Amino acid sequence: MTVAIRQTSETFTPRQQAVLTAALDLLVEAGDGLTMTAVARRASCSKETLYKWFGDRDGLLTATVQWQAAKVRVPLVDRRSLDPDSLRASIYQFARDLLATISGATSVALNRLAISHATEDNGLGAIVLDNGRFTMGKRLKPLLEAGRDARMLRFDNSETAFRTFFGLVLRDVQVRLLLGDKLALSLKEIEADAERATDQFLTLYGVPANKPDRAQR
C-alpha cells in the first residue's frame, strides 16, 4: 500500500510503457471495457504488478493519460522570418495538426474516459485539459502575438483570440465524435477544414494587407 502519486513528468521503464500502451490500446478499442484484468492479460503481466506500479485503478488511468498526453506533438513555430505568408502557413499547420489530433481515435477515447470520470474535482479531466486545450493555447499564443507585433494581426487578448481559433477549427467535430457520431475525417477534409478555419481566422483578426481581397465565405 504505497501512496506514491507523483505527478510531474513521470518517467516510466520500458516495461511500464508497454503496459501503458496496452491500456491505451484497450481503451481505444473498448472504452468502458477497460478492466484491470483485461489490462493485465493484454500486457501479459499480473494484476499485482499493476497495483504495485500504479497504486490503484485510478493511478493506472492517470498514468496512461499523462503518458499519452506527453507524447502529443504540438507544433512549435519559429517566429523568425514572419511575413504574411509564413504566418498564414504556420496558423494553417497548427490548425491542421490540432484537428487531426482531436479527431483521432486516441484523443476521442482519452477524452471520453476523462469526461466519464468527471464529477467535479477529479484529476483526469484537469490533466486532459492541461495537456490538450491549454497546452495548445500556450503553443499558439506566441505566434499570434508575434503576428500582432508585426502588425499582421489585431486583437486585444490572445487568449480570446485563441478560443475563437479553437472554435473555428473544431466547430462541432469534437462533441460529435465524443457522442459516437461516425465522422471519419479524411486527410483531405482535415486540410480543407484547416484551410477554411485559417481563412476565417485571418478574416476576423488579420490586418488587411496591401492586397485587399481576402474575404472568405
Partner DNA sequence: ACCGAACCGTACCGTACGGTACGCATCCGG
Partner DNA sequence: CCGGATGCGTACCGTACGGTACGGTTCGGT
Q: Rule CB under 7 A: which residues touch DNA? A: 1, 13, 15, 33-37, 40, 44-49, 51-53, 56-58
Query: 63: Cβ–Cβ under 8 A, 6 or more apart, which residues?
Result: 10, 12, 20, 54
Q: Assess contact for 36 and 57: CB atoms under 8 A.
A: yes
Q: Which does 85 bind (CB under 5 to 8 A by kind): a copy of itself, DNA, none?
A: none
The x, y and z cell numbers of residue 110, run together, are 482519452
Say how far apart CA 180 and CA 49 lie, in whole Å. Answer: 34
Which residue in the set 41, 57, 141, 171 belongs to the binding site for a copy of itself (CB under 8 A)?
Answer: 171
For the bound state, the minimum distance from the C-beta of residue 158 to a copy of itself, rounded and expressed in Å, comes to: 12
3-state SS, 66-90, equals HHHHHHCCCCCCCCCCCCHHHHHHH
For the bound state, the minimum distance from the C-beta of residue 6 to a copy of itself, rounded and expressed in Å, comes to: 17
The x, y and z cell numbers of residue 149, run together, are 507585433
Q: Assess contact for 68 and 24: CB atoms under 8 A.
A: yes
Stretch of 40-48, 66-74, 85-93, 126-134 contacting a copy of itself, by CB under 8 A? 126-134
For the bound state, the minimum distance from the C-beta of residue 203 to a copy of itself, rounded and expressed in Å, comes to: 6
Q: Assign 141 to helix, strand or coil.
A: helix
For the bound state, the minimum distance from the C-beta of residue 42 to a copy of itself, rounded and expressed in Å, comes to: 17
Q: Which does 185 bind (CB under 5 to 8 A by kind): DNA, a copy of itself, none?
A: none
The x, y and z cell numbers of residue 21, run together, are 500502451
Q: Which does 44 bind (CB under 5 to 8 A by kind): DNA, a copy of itself, none?
A: DNA
Provide the binding-site residues for a copy of itself, judged by CB under 8 A: 1, 30-33, 111-112, 114-122, 125-126, 128-129, 133, 154-156, 163-164, 166-172, 174-176, 178-181, 200, 203-205, 216-217
